[in-house]
C-alpha cells in the first residue's frame, strides 16, 4: 500500500489566464459604455429681432442650445457650461432635461436655437420639456440692430 500524503504529490498553482480575460472584458465593457462630455462652447447664430427683453437672472433658466446640425446641449442653473448630449434621441433629451431641472423651482426653459436649425429639432426640445411638465418656454433672439 502507498501511504504517502497527498500534499507531497500535488503542487498548487493559480492559473491567471482566465482572470486576465475577465479584466480585459470588463475594460472593453467600460470603454464602450462610458459617455464623454465635450466641454466646448457651441457656436450659434440667433435669429434677429428689433427689441428683446433681457432675462432677470440665469438661476431660473434651463437653457437648451440647438446647433444648425441638430446637436443639443443643456445647461441647468448649477452648470457652468452647457453639456452637449451624446445623441439627439427623445429619451436622452428628456433625461437630460430632468437632470438639469433638479433643484430648480419653477424653471423656465430658454431655447437658444441657431437661425438655420431645423424646425423639427426645436419641436423635439419643446416636446421633451413638455413631457417633464415644463410649460414656460421662451426663445432667445439676437437684437444687435
Q: How many Å separate Cα 59 from the centre of its chain?
A: 20
Number of domains in the chain: 1
The answer as to whether 22 is a domain residue is no
Determine the structural domain holding residue 123 and report its residue range: 58-139
Per-residue pLDDT reduced to its tens digit, 47-74 = 776 665 655 555 688 999 999 898 999 9
The answer as to whether 134 is a domain residue is yes
Question: Quick one: pLDDT at residue 57?
Answer: 56
Asked if residue 82 has pLDDT above 80, the reply is: yes
In percent, the amount of the chain with pLDDT more than 70 equals 74
**More confidently predicted of 52 and 94:** 94
Other beta carbons less than 10 A from residue 137's beta carbon = 16
Q: What is the pTM of this model?
A: 0.61
Instruction: Give the CATH number, domain containing residue 113.
Output: 3.30.420.270
Q: Mean pLDDT, the chain, as a whole number?
A: 82
At residue 7 the predicted structure's pLDDT band, cuts being 50, 70 and 90, is: low
The answer as to whether 75 is a domain residue is yes
Q: Which residues contact 82 (CB under 8 A, 6 or more apart)?
A: 41, 42, 63, 65, 73, 74, 75
Amino acid at each position: 500500500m502507498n501511504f504517502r500524503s497527498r500534499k507531497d504529490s500535488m503542487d498548487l498553482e493559480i492559473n491567471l489566464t482566465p482572470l486576465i480575460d475577465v479584466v480585459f472584458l470588463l475594460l472593453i465593457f467600460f470603454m464602450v459604455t462610458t459617455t464623454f462630455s465635450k466641454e466646448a462652447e457651441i457656436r450659434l447664430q440667433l435669429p434677429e429681432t428689433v427689441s428683446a427683453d433681457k432675462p432677470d437672472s440665469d438661476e431660473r433658466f434651463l437653457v437648451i442650445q440647438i446647433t444648425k446640425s441638430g446637436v443639443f446641449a443643456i445647461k441647468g442653473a448649477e452648470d457652468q457650461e452647457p453639456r452637449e448630449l451624446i445623441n439627439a434621441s427623445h429619451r436622452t433629451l428628456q433625461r437630460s432635461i430632468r437632470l438639469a431641472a433638479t433643484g430648480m423651482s419653477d424653471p423656465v426653459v430658454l431655447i437658444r436655437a441657431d437661425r438655420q436649425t431645423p424646425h423639427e429639432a426645436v419641436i423635439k426640445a419643446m416636446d421633451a420639456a413638455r413631457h417633464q411638465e415644463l410649460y414656460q418656454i421662451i426663445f432667445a433672439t439676437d437684437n444687435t440692430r
